[in-house]
Every structure is written in structure tokens, then in C-alpha cells.
Structure 1
Amino acid sequence: MRNVLLLSLIVCSLFLYGVCEEDDDNDQIIGGTLAPKGQYPFMVYFRNTATGTLFCSGTLITAYKVLTTAWCFPSSLPVLDVTAWMNTVSLNPDIDRVVRRVIRVVRAPDYNPVTGMHDIAIVTLDTPVFSVRPVPLAFGAYVNAGNTAVVTGWGYTGPTQLSTYLRHSPITIQPKSLCMASFSNSNYGSPYFICAASLGVGSCSLDAGSPILLNGNQLGISSRSRCGGGEPIVGVDVRAYQPWILNNL
């Protein structure tokens, strides 16, 4: 969920490599509750090793691979300066966390940061993770507007309050026309996206790459939102990328 320009400037100053969105876009997750430890072990947060700060999220989909957005890994970000943390609900180190170094990022070849099209990437870890259950992908799932999904993520819970613990919340799948109108982007009506929104719930750029889950399976990847309760979330529809994902595992 995204707030005002002032917060955007504050958040942008905290992270390297210009990993910020438009001026009306900030970095928080609003609504929901703290996620129980062990419910989403596949949740990944990417940490800049130089600053020790979170900058994006993702999901473990195989022992070696993490699914996220292409936006999270601009070409200016050296992948060797990034670690992936999982099997934890806390941004602070704990004894159960699993940490791996990022060694490679493959973005969708047609990714366009201006239009938001094909905002998907697969990250390769330096060594496999066998102790953490990957998230199943919702290939073949049938989804209607009105279905209840779940969003998870770290980030701000308000203008200045950064949550150090993973949060989750139910959210409703919406007609794509809602996201098209909210962001004035007709591309969001294409088969490559899903749209979700619920009163008081949302995600932000620190939650970019987080999953939209349907019945425990990953249906979408949080790609675009505004920091405000009830603002819609544009999610990359993983079903549209099944061949590409499978070819890059």
C-alpha cells in the first residue's frame, strides 16, 4: 500500500540502487495479522549485503530457485551483493533461518518496466535448500472474481512503522477492470495479470515479489500497488508463464 510523496522519499533514501517506484508509491503492508511461524517457510526476503536491508520478496519454488518480479532486480543491482533469507517470519536473524547467496537472475525476456508487462524473474541460489518446503504453483487453477486469496509480506504497516515480522491477510480476487482503471493501464486486463483488493488490505514495493496464494498454491506475484487500505494489487499471473517458468527451473 502506498502513501504520500514524503514517505516515498524517506523510503527511497533507505535503499540502494534506486529500488523505488513512482512518487505515489511507497513501501508498506497494511492490514492483516502476524503470520504464524512455519506457515509460509517458502517466503523469501532479499537482503542487500552491503546495507543489511530488505528490498524485495520472493518465494522458493524449487531447492535452487526463487520466483520474484523482474522489477526487484534491475540491471544496476549486482546479484552477488544479495542474499535470500527464508524459513523465518522475522527480518531479524533467528536460529531457524536459512540463508543463501544469489548467483543468477533470469528476467522474462520481454519485461518492460514502463508498461509493467512480463514483470517476472527467477533467481538461482548458490546451494540447494532441502530443509524448506517450496510453494506449489497454481498452474491449471480456475479462478473467478470473488474468490478469496491470501497475500503475505513484510514492510510498513503505516506511514512510519516498519513491521519486522511477516504478515498475511485474506484478499479478494477482483475483475481486472478494477486494476485497469486504478492504474490507467489497459495492459492489466491481459491474461498476464490478476487483480486483487479488499478493504483495509494491500501491499507495497517492499512486498514486491510476494505471493498471492489460492488454497495454499501461488497464483500471483505482487507486482504493482499503492500504499493504502483497499487499493488494488496487480499480480503477475503465474499460470500465464507456466512454459517459461518450467524452462528456467
Structure 2
Amino acid sequence: MRHVLLFSLLFCSLFLNGMCEDDDENDQIIGGTLAAKGQYPYMVYFRNQATGRLFCSGTLITPSRVLTTAWCFPSSLSMIDVTAWMNTVSLTPDVDRVVRRVIRVVRAPDYNPVTGLHDIAIITLDAPVFSVRPVRLAFGAFVNAGNTAVVTGWGYTGATQLSTFLRHSPITIQPKSLCVSSFGNTNFGSQFFICAASIGVGSCSLDAGSPILLNGNQLGISSQSRCGGGEPVVGVDVRAYERWIVSHL
């Protein structure tokens, strides 16, 4: 059974050409604090230049590649007006921002939007970015339930309070059984996912594609959540896709 995040994202994909409005009250990093400028320079937000709207996030992993979810880039989405913004904590233009056009999307070949399996994609930019430090991927990392990770993202901090600045929050890695029971999806117990949750912390649709960081390295990609503080966040485990990621860099 898919939850509200996937439904809302699918609706946007089918009827709004993938571009959700950033005034949706469910789009949020809940319980977070403002990130410092330069703290996460590799954080990317994807923007529809025609509407000026943020619709998903990602991370710069090489000078010309961005890691995100496959869901964020359905085959129906035109790349003509999609840009990737990075090296900024603000959704509004600033002097340090770096902007590139998206020219290619490679989705995991077995991606299934119904089950959520293999929700991962690599984006190619129209020109490399050498002024921004890419994030390191946590290939080979050993992770236990109880480890403290970090989630980041833009969006609402509550029902009516929109933050236009990047926020981050600590979150605890949980047993996968928590996400299985919370979402009724046994796939979330597989090696392809991680599960994280903390009281008062949450994420939602504008945070899809954002990283789950462990010791500063990217362990997961935020894929699914229920848009509320304390609800589990399902992340795609990048360690399960090391060979696929490396083959597309």
C-alpha cells in the first residue's frame, strides 16, 4: 500500500507535469533548524523554469552527475525547462548559487512506482560544476539501528509556515520492520531500503531525492514518508546500488 507522499507525487506527475507547487502545506522538513551557508553545498533542488517552482531535490555526486529518485523524473517529464540549483541555502536567487540545465536522466531499469522498488536515478547536467564539492557516498558503511543520521530539505516547517531556506535535522536509523509495518509494504524490509525516524522530525514531497547523511556521507535518498513529525522516512540505500551508480558516472 502506497502512502500519501507517493500518491501526491504521482498526482503531480500525471496532472501537473511533475511540478508540484511549493505552497502545498504538506511539503516540509519538520522539526529541523536552518542549515548554515556552505554546510551542504552539494544539495540540489530541481526547478521548473517555466513556473519558477521547486519540485524535488538531489545531491551532486560528481561534477556533472546528480543523484535523486526515479519518481522525481517520470518519463513524461520534459527536460526543456528543468534546472538544477546548488551551492545555496535559499530558494530565492543569491550570488553564490550555481545553476545547470538537466539534459539526461537514467533511471534504475527495474524501477517500480507501485512497489517503490529501485527508486533511484542519475541526472546529467549540461556542464560540469567544479566549484562545488560533491557529496561522498557511504559505500561500504556499516550501519546499525540507533545510529544518528541527518535529513535535509527545503519547505514548510509546519502547516502554514513556509521556510525558503534549507533545513536539516538529526534522525535515528530504525529497524526496517518499522517502515514495513508503518506502510504495509514488505519491500521496505529488503536490502534496497533504510528506515529512519525520530520524534518531531519528518519530511515530505519537496524533500523527495534529498540525502540521508551518516557521518557526512550519503547513506540514503529520501523516497517516501507521511509528511508528519515522527513518521518514518523510507530511504533508498545507496550501498545496494554501488555497482549501478558507478557504472553511470
On whether the aligned pair clears a TM of 0.5, the verdict is yes
Counterpart in the other structure of 1:43: 43
| Pairing 1:230–2:230 present | yes
Task: Within 5 Å, give how 1:140-179 maps onto structure 2.
Answer: 140-179=140-179
Task: Within 5 Å, give how 1:78-93 maps onto structure 2.
Answer: 78-93=78-93
The structural deviation recorded for 1:32 is: 1.1
Task: Within 5 Å, give how 1:48-67 maps onto structure 2.
Answer: 48-67=48-67
Distance 2:160 2:121 in 1: 30
Unaligned runs of 5+ in 2: none
Counterpart in the other structure of 1:68: 68
Partner secondary structure for residue 80 of structure 2:
helix
Residues 18 and 77, structure 2, Cα contact 8 Å, conserved in 1: no
> TM-score, normalised on structure 2?
0.92
Residues 220 and 235, structure 2, Cα contact 8 Å, conserved in 1: yes
The structural deviation recorded for 1:86 is: 0.1
Computed over aligned residues only, the root mean square deviation of the Cα atoms, in angstroms, reads 2.1
Residues 19 and 72, structure 1, Cα contact 8 Å, conserved in 2: no
Counterpart in the other structure of 1:29: 29
Counterpart in the other structure of 1:180: 180
Deviations along 1:140-173, one digit per CA (max 9) or x if unpaired, are 0000000000000001211232210000000000
Bigger shift: residues 29-38 or 156-165: 156-165
Distance 2:210 2:79 in 1: 19
Distance 1:132 1:214 in 2: 20
The structural deviation recorded for 1:19 is: 5.2
Distance 1:26 1:245 in 2: 31
Counterpart in the other structure of 2:129: 129
Distance 1:61 1:47 in 2: 18
The structural deviation recorded for 1:26 is: 3.5
The structural deviation recorded for 1:242 is: 0.1
Amino acid at match of 1:246: V
Amino acid at match of 1:126: D
Judging changes above 3 Å, is the alpha-carbon distance between structure 1 residues 40 and 185 closer, same or farther for their aligned structure 2 residues? same
Counterpart in the other structure of 1:246: 246
Distance 2:122 2:161 in 1: 30
Distance 2:214 2:76 in 1: 33
Counterpart in the other structure of 2:113: 113
The structural deviation recorded for 1:193 is: 0.1
Partner secondary structure for residue 71 of structure 1:
coil
Counterpart in the other structure of 2:216: 216
Unaligned runs of 5+ in 1: none
Deviations along 1:73-104, one digit per CA (max 9) or x if unpaired, are 01111112200000000000000000000000
Residues 19 and 48, structure 2, Cα contact 8 Å, conserved in 1: no
Bigger shift: residues 174-183 or 158-167: 158-167
Amino acid at match of 1:208: A
Judging changes above 3 Å, is the alpha-carbon distance between structure 1 residues 58 and 4 closer, same or farther for their aligned structure 2 residues? closer
Partner secondary structure for residue 70 of structure 1:
coil
Distance 1:105 1:61 in 2: 14
Distance 1:89 1:16 in 2: 26
Q: Segments of 4+ in structure 1 off by > 6 A?
A: none
The structural deviation recorded for 1:12 is: 5.5
Bigger shift: residues 130-139 or 152-161: 152-161
Residues 154 and 167, structure 2, Cα contact 8 Å, conserved in 1: yes
